Amino acid sequence: MAKLFAQIRFIAGALALALMIAAATPVSAQVNPTTSAVKEQQLLNTLQDGGISGRVSIPDQKSANLIRPAGRDWQHWHQVTLRWIGAIAVLGALALMVIIYLSRGMIKIEGGRSGRTIVRFNAFERFIHWLTASCFIILALSGLNITFGKPLLLPLLGPEAFTTWSELAKYAHNFLSFPFTIGVVLIFLTWIGGNIPNAVDIEWFKRGGGILSDDHPPAGHFNGGQKVIYWIVVLGGGASAVTGYLLLFPFYGTGISGMQLSEIIHATVGMLFIAAMLGHIYIGTIGMEGAAEAMGEGSVDVNWAKQHHSLWLADEMSRAKGSGAARPMGTPAE
Ligand code: HEM
């Protein structure tokens, strides 16, 4: 009899203990996470939208979050998916440029230089262009280091040099974001007038912008391709800034999920932005004779203007005739 009572007591005790464990575990899942038979993946799948949280006595309640399975999806995105997107976008853009350069070469000024130049961008316009461009280049390189530095540079530089470089790059990324944002805002305000899409752009695109042939579709101050670049800078720069500042000032604007989403948008926009700007740099340098001068000295050869921006040139000439001189023109090139 005493043995029977002892057995009943044991079973009741075991049941009570099981009940206490079940009640104390803050998991809404069907799976008991304390059972050794539960596989980690099974537990994570069951907890997909929730997590395992405890209680803390410090003011920062976020520290009570012990496991957040959604973080693993983000980690996979960051270490695998993003690297694929970045590699395809950046290497794809470079490969495309090599193909275009090898098949088309530099687009020359037909009939050579006239020896007369016309002002295309004033000092302020060139300043905002170079302010934004120089910040962009450093933001792009330091951003790429966050995505690709560990697998590509760490083995080459070793831990100490890589740490020093990454720290510098991170400071540069944080602080240059401010002049970059100012540059994007100034570009938006300064050039919005010339960048509203119109019927001339449709014709320009229909004729492929004259990039792959010797055709020269008419264009105003900015052609269809340049307008696309303008909107990529304004919208891509705007999106980089908003999402970047959400990451730079954590938990001010959003929580963990919002920051993960911000990082996904920031990094994807960043990679596509870099690919687009590689195209812009190509056409402004080795892709087209006479283009770099526009943002260098600020003036271009009249024959270049006739070939690539005929409507703008005609406009400037008629204004110069009408009012003495709108923008200085006819300066003999040295
Ligand atoms: C206002 C502008 C910007 C701000 C405030 C900003 C801020 C940030 C912050 C805080 C991070 C996270 C750094 C970390 O994980 O430690 C980041 C990452 C990154 N940024 Fe920016 N950024 C800006 C512009 C740009 C631009 C223009 C580009 C591209 C040209 C860019 C490309 C990247 C890339 C590729 C990453 C790494 C993404 C990753 O692997 O997680 N950023 N940025």
**Token code pair at residue 268:** 């994807």
What pLDDT is attached to residue 24? Answer: 47
Q: Residue 172: which residues within 8 A CB-CB, separation 6 or more?
A: 138, 139, 142
What pLDDT is attached to residue 66? Answer: 77
Return the beta strands (E) in 41-149 as ranges: 52-53, 65-67, 116-119
pLDDT one-digit tens code per residue, 75-92: 999 999 999 999 999 999
Instruction: Please check the confidence at residue 161 and state whether its pLDDT lies above 80.
Output: yes
What pLDDT is attached to residue 29? Answer: 44
Residue nearest to atom 5 of ligand 1 (CA): 244
What pLDDT is attached to residue 290? Answer: 95
Higher per-residue pLDDT: 76 or 216: 76
Contact 267, 147 (CB under 8 A): yes
Distance from the first to the final alpha carbon of the chain: 117
Higher per-residue pLDDT: 9 or 133: 133
% of residues, the chain, pLDDT over 70 = 82
Ligand 1: residues within 6 Å at CB? Answer: 78, 82, 136, 139-140, 143-144, 146-147, 170, 173, 177, 180-181, 240-241, 244-245, 247-248, 263, 266-267, 270, 273-274
Contact 289, 108 (CB under 8 A): yes
As a whole number of angstroms, the distance between CA 179 and CA 288 comes to 29
Residue nearest to atom 33 of ligand 1 (CA): 143
Instruction: Please check the confidence at residue 42 and state whether its pLDDT lies above 60.
Output: yes
As a whole number of angstroms, the distance between CA 275 and CA 273 comes to 5
Phi, psi of 301 (to 5 degrees): -70, 145
Pocket probe for ligand 1: among 153, 176, 266, the residue whose CB has the most ligand atoms within 8 Å is 266
DSSP codes, 50-62? S-EE---SSS-GG
Give me the mean pLDDT over the 301-326 stretch.
Answer: 87
Residue whose C-alpha is closest to residue 298's, from 73, 163, 130: 130
As a whole number of angstroms, the distance between CA 254 and CA 320 comes to 54
Distance (angstroms) between ligand 1 centre and the Cα of 52 equals 30
pLDDT one-digit tens code per residue, 1-34: 566 666 667 666 666 655 555 444 444 445 565 6
As a whole number of angstroms, the distance between CA 112 and CA 92 comes to 33
* Average pLDDT of the chain to the nearest whole number: 88
As a whole number of angstroms, the distance between CA 281 and CA 106 comes to 13
Residue nearest to atom 10 of ligand 1 (CA): 248
Burial-class residue 192 by CB neighbours within 10 Å (0-12, 13-18, 19+).
Answer: exposed
As a whole number of angstroms, the distance between CA 246 and CA 258 comes to 9
Distance (angstroms) between ligand 1 centre and the Cα of 173 equals 7
Residue nearest to atom 19 of ligand 1 (CA): 143
Instruction: Please check the confidence at residue 125 and state whether its pLDDT lies above 60.
Output: yes
What pLDDT is attached to residue 331? Answer: 47
Residue nearest to atom 7 of ligand 1 (CA): 244
Instruction: Please check the confidence at residue 62 and state whether its pLDDT lies above 60.
Output: yes
What pLDDT is attached to residue 333? Answer: 40
pLDDT grade for 35, boundaries at 50, 70 and 90: low
As a whole number of angstroms, the distance between CA 240 and CA 254 comes to 16
Distance (angstroms) between ligand 1 centre and the Cα of 162 equals 18
Residue type, 218: P
Higher per-residue pLDDT: 125 or 49: 125
Residue whose C-alpha is closest to residue 144's, from 98, 182, 90, 76: 90
Higher per-residue pLDDT: 274 or 333: 274
Ligand 1 atom closest to Cα of 135?
27
